[in-house]
A and B are shown apart, each in its own frame.
Chain A
Amino acid sequence: MTKTRTMLAAFAVGLLTSTAALAGDVRIMWYSDGVEGEVLKDLMDRFMKDNPDIKVVIDNVSFSVVREQLPVQLEAGDGPDIARLANLKALSKHWLDLRPLVAEPAYWDKNFGDQADWMRPDGSNQISGFMTQVTLTGGFANKTLFDQAGVALPGKDATWDDWAKASKQVAESQQIPFPMALDRSGHRLTAPDLSFGANYIGADGKPAPLDDGAKGFISKFIGWIEDGTMSKDIWVSAAGSTYRAGADDFINGQVAFYYSGSWQVPNFSTKIGSNFDWVATGSPCGPANCTGMPGGAGLVAIKYTKNPKDVAKVMDYLASEPIVKEFSERTLFLPAHKGVIEKGLNFKTDDAQAKAALGIFVTASTGLSDIARKLPGWAWSDTVYGALVTRVSQAAAGEMTLDEAYSRIDADIAAKVKDSAL
Chain B
Amino acid sequence: MAEISRQTSQRRIGQSLGETAMVPVSLAMGLIDAPLRWVQKTFGLGGMAAFFLLPNMLIFGIFVLLPFFINFAYSMTGGTALFLSDRTFVGVDQYARLFDCANYLNPNTCAEDTFWTAVSNTGWFVILQVTLMIGFSLVTALILNRELMARSFWRAVFFFPVLLSPVVVGLIWKWILQRQGLLNFGLFGFGFEPHVWLNDRNWAFAATVGVSIWAHMGFYTLIILAGLQAIPKDLYEAAEMDGTRAMRVFTRITLPLLMPNLLVVIVLVLIRAVQIFDEVYVLTGGGPGTSTLFVTQYIYETGFAAQLRNPGLAAAASILMGLVLVVLTLVQLGLSRSRDKKGARK
Contacts and interface: CB of A to CB of B under 8 A. Distances in A.
A397 B79 contact: no
Interface residues of B, number: 38
The listed residue with most A CB atoms (<10 A of its CB), out of B196, B290, B293, is B290
Contact of A239 (B87, B199, B297, B309): B297
A242 B108 contact: no
Interface string A367-382: 0000000000000001
Main secondary structure of the interface of A (DSSP, over half): helix
A404 B307 CA distance: 21
Interface in A76-96: 76, 87, 90
Interface in B189-230: 196, 198-199, 201
Contacts of B288: 236-237, 397
A309 interface: no
B179 A240 contact: no
A236 B305 contact: no
A400 B305 CA distance: 23
A397 B80 contact: no
Contact of A397 (B291, B301, B304, B305): B291
B163 interface: no
B308 A75 contact: no
B81 interface: yes
Interface residues of A, number: 40
A400 B80 CA distance: 28
Interface stretch (A106-114, A208-216, A314-322, A414-422): A414-422
Main secondary structure of the interface of B (DSSP, over half): loop
Contacts of A75: 81-83
Nearest to A69: B304
Interface in B287-307: 287-293, 297, 301, 304-307
Contacts of B111: 411
Given A233-B196, A397-B201, A72 B307 contact: no
Given A238-B287, A240-B286, A422-B78, 19 more contacts: A67-B305, A76-B82, A76-B83, A90-B307, A177-B179, A237-B199, A237-B285, A238-B285, A238-B286, A239-B289, A239-B292, A239-B297, A239-B301, A241-B307, A242-B285, A394-B289, A397-B201, A397-B287, A422-B80
24 contacts: A68-B305, A72-B82, A72-B309, A87-B307, A177-B179, A236-B288, A238-B287, A239-B286, A239-B287, A239-B293, A241-B301, A241-B306, A252-B180, A382-B307, A383-B307, A386-B307, A396-B289, A397-B288, A399-B290, A400-B108, A408-B113, A411-B111, A419-B79, A422-B90
Interface of A: 67-69, 71-72, 75-76, 87, 90, 177, 232-233, 236-242, 244, 252, 382-383, 385-386, 390, 393-394, 396-400, 404, 408, 411, 416, 419-420, 422
